Amino acid sequence: MDVAIVIPARYGSSRLPGKPMAPVAGRSLLNRVWSIARAVNGVGAVYVATDDERVADHARGFGAEVVMTDATCENGTERAWQAMMRLSRKPDAVVNLQGDAVLTPPWVVQGLVDAFHADPGTSMVTAAVRCTWATYDELVKLKEVSPTSGTTVTMDRFGRALYFSKAIIPRLRKRDESRPPPVHRHIGIYGYTLSALERMATLPPSELEQAEQLEQLRALENGIPITVVPVDYRGRTHGSVDTPEDIAAVEAIIAREGELVP
């Protein structure tokens, strides 16, 4: 399959205006995410999708290929779909890597790309990390103070998603520490065939999606199967940038753990 990566990058963040150009340890946020995408194998092209010429000029300055989109796009999924429709040569599938995903390891993105190459019948892919008992206990404590932080997913025997929830699923009735808990924390990165991306961008919000405030439930409610790729962060810290305070936290992580890519 011809797989591309698209990076939606919006200038007008309410909490951090000009976020794509925000400096993070000497390089802009967008440059860092683009570099992560470029380190993934089996990808035909990497595109930055934006509605702002300031972001476009900045991206072109470090060599990125830019697709201009409308300011009316409501989310990254819509922006990714519109960007793909404006290409003269369209890929078979696209991985949507959010422009603030500065700590997403390239091997996590690689897992989604590899899933398309392994099975051309795949419609949609995402990633999840299986909890250890230590990370499960941390998630339980997190939910006590911030119930909507962190999403979990359950899968069938073939790796297809059954459900996503802001609750911890499945609910554990017993604790068997001889093996890891069957709880998977969802990583919010997605890949789509173009037909699946079109449906996600054009279908109305679904009932369960609105209840949980999880867009991926729109796919499940409309019969779009989602393959869940198990990934390992290999000791790296997961995180993104939403506020000015997040920049300092991310810089501290980079200083402690090193660069993901040169």
Task: With respect to residue 148, please indicate whether it lies within any of the assigned structural domains.
Answer: no
Give the predicted TM-score (pTM) of the model. 0.94
Three-class secondary structure of residue 202 per DSSP: helix
Nearest to 181 by CA among 191, 189, 193, 173: 173
Task: With respect to residue 104, please indicate whether it lies within any of the assigned structural domains.
Answer: yes
What's the pLDDT tens digit per position in 66-89? 999 998 888 889 999 999 999 999
Task: With respect to residue 112, please indicate whether it lies within any of the assigned structural domains.
Answer: yes
Task: With respect to residue 142, please indicate whether it lies within any of the assigned structural domains.
Answer: no
76-114 burial string, b = 16+ CB within 10 Å, else e?
Answer: bbbbbbbbbeeeeeebebbbbbbbbbbbbbbbbbbbbbb
The span from the CA of 52 to the CA of 59, in Å, is 11
Three-class secondary structure of residue 188 per DSSP: strand
Which CATH number is 237's domain given?
A: 3.90.550.10
What's the pLDDT tens digit per position in 93-107? 999 999 999 999 999
Number of folded domains that form the chain = 1
- Residue 130 in tokens: 């299986």
pLDDT band of 232, cuts 50, 70, 90: very high
